[in-house]
Each structure stands twice: as structure tokens, then as C-alpha cells.
């Protein structure tokens, strides 16, 4: 399966893609059409809904805050919709440009998510070691930050190498450009504000995610060690059983 088939071109979502195909340390590969990551699905058109429906997704994990869900709605056209807000408060527009223009600040923000969202990360991983929840999809608003942290954790646990984890994170760059273009078209009166936050929205530094991987190993020895602190021993083994072929 080619890299182009990893992405799904939709009208109302910009960052839906398959986490399959990545090689693991054992020489196996993450299964295709098993686990998906995405931005918010509340804008899907009828054609989008049909395309997403064809994926046979059973479980959606919504990482957004309660306020985001209340204001924008959610995608619950699945057997199991699970709201697991990974953070309580969004980065302010004022902080967006400051944090997301500096790779070290992005790394710090992602590590903060892993620490402050420990209970939710435990819920997510506990759910995803269950064979019956698949195919599954997890998402936040843009599919970059919260979703990126969860994706990196899962890929790290199943043994995908750092280069591929970083590369998967950076794939969100094109989606951010499309998302900003749509926001500018849909909200012409807010162009000045969108221009102000654009640098932070469009910035994706591979070194920021690489910094997260290094920091997790420095603090916990491995992603397996991190999962153990969440009360999920052998999370890597359990995830490989359901995600790797």
C-alpha cells in the first residue's frame, strides 16, 4: 500500500489518515485499516460520511475538551463513541504563536500533555488493547497536537522507530495548510485574527516530536515504562497483539 493511500481526501476533515504500514523493531508491520488518526469530524459532508462509514470504524475516541464538543458537536455514528478529553484548557491564541514557533516549547507542551493527561492516557491505552474496539479512530480538533501525542505513544509502544514516528507527526503539515485556507474562506471577518495565529498553526517541527521521544526515554526508560506508570504493564505486548501483523 502506497503512502498516498495513507491519507483520506475529505471535504469536511483535513487530517484523517491510517496509522498502518509502519515497520516495527521485530520486522513486522502495523496493520492497515485498523487504527486511524484525525482532526475533528463534526464538519463531514454526506459524501464524507459515506467514505468514513466504508472504513467500518467501530470506536471513536474524542480527545477534545468538553467545551469544544459542546460548541462544535461530535461524530457518534459508530458503535462506541468515547469522550476522553486529554487536556482541560486549550492553548490561548496569544500563546499559540509563542509556543508553536519554538520546537523546545512544543516538546515541553507535549510532555505536559503526557503528564497532566495521565488518567486520560491510561483510559485510551486501556481501551485500545481490547481487540473488540477495532477498527478505531482517535482525534482532537486539528489532529496534530493531542492526536500526535497519542499516536507517538502507540507507535512507540508497538516498536515503530523514531524516524517513522517523527515522519508521521510531520505529515500533519499539509493538513494544517488546508485547514487554515478553509477557515479563512469560511470566516472572512476573522482573517486578521487567523493571520495572527497562522504561524503557530502551520509550524510543525520534527525536532519537537523527536524531543518528546528522547524525554520519555530519559524519564521512563521507554514508552513501556511510561505505560507502566499509568497502571498498564505490558502495554506494548498487548498493543502488538491487536495492531501488528
Q: What pLDDT shows up at residue 205?
A: 85
The CATH number of the domain holding residue 167 is 3.90.190.10
| One-character DSSP codes across 167-208 | HHHHTHHHHHHHHHHHHHHH-GGGHHHHHHHHHHHH---HHH
**What is the 8-class DSSP label of residue 231?**
T
Q: What pLDDT shows up at residue 188?
A: 81
pLDDT tens, the chain, 245 aa long: 445 489 999 999 999 999 999 999 999 999 999 999 999 999 999 999 999 999 999 999 999 999 999 999 999 999 999 999 999 877 666 666 667 788 899 999 999 999 999 999 999 999 999 999 999 999 999 999 999 999 999 999 999 999 999 999 999 988 888 878 877 877 787 777 766 666 666 778 899 999 999 999 999 999 999 999 999 999 999 999 999 99
d(CA 155, CA 176): 22
Give 244's strand partners. 30
The b-or-e profile of 223-234 (16+ CB within 10 A means b, else e) is bbebbeebebee
Number of domains in the chain: 1
Residue 11: phi, psi to the nearest 5?
-80, -40
121 close to 138: Cβ distance less than 8 angstroms: no
Plot region of 65 (φ>0 → left; ψ -120 to 50 → alpha; else → beta) = beta
Domain coverage including residue 93: 3-243
Amino acid at each position: 500500500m502506497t503512502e498516498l493511500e495513507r491519507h483520506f481526501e475529505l471535504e469536511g476533515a483535513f487530517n484523517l489518515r491510517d496509522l498502518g504500514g509502519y515497520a516495527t523493531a521485530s520486522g513486522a508491520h502495523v496493520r492497515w485499516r485498523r487504527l486511524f488518526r484525525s482532526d475533528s469530524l463534526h464538519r463531514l459532508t454526506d459524501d464524507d460520511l459515506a467514505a468514513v462509514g466504508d472504513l467500518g470504524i467501530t470506536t471513536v475516541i474524542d480527545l477534545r475538551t468538553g467545551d469544544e464538543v459542546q460548541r462544535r458537536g461530535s461524530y457518534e455514528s459508530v458503535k462506541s463513541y468515547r469522550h476522553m478529553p486529554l487536556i482541560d484548557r486549550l492553548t490561548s491564541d496569544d500563546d499559540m504563536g509563542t509556543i508553536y514557533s519554538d520546537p523546545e516549547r512544543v516538546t515541553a507542551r507535549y510532555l505536559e500533555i503526557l503528564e497532566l493527561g495521565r488518567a486520560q492516557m491510561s483510559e485510551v491505552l486501556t481501551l485500545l488493547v481490547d481487540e473488540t474496539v477495532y477498527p478505531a479512530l482517535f482525534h482532537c480538533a486539528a489532529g496534530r497536537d493531542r492526536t500526535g501525542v497519542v499516536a507517538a505513544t502507540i507507535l512507540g509502544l508497538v516498536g515503530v522507530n523514531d524516524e517513522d514516528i517523527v515522519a508521521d507527526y510531520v505529515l500533519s503539515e499539509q493538513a494544517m495548510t488546508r485547514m487554515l485556507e478553509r477557515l479563512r474562506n469560511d470566516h472572512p471577518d476573522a482573517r486578521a485574527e487567523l493571520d495572527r495565529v497562522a504561524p503557530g498553526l502551520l509550524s510543525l517541527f520534527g525536532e519537537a516530536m523527536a524531543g518528546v521521544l528522547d524525554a520519555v526515554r530519559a524519564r521512563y526508560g521507554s514508552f513501556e515504562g511510561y505505560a507502566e506508570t499509568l497502571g498498564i504493564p505490558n502495554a506494548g505486548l498487548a498493543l502488538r497483539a491487536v495492531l501488528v501483523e
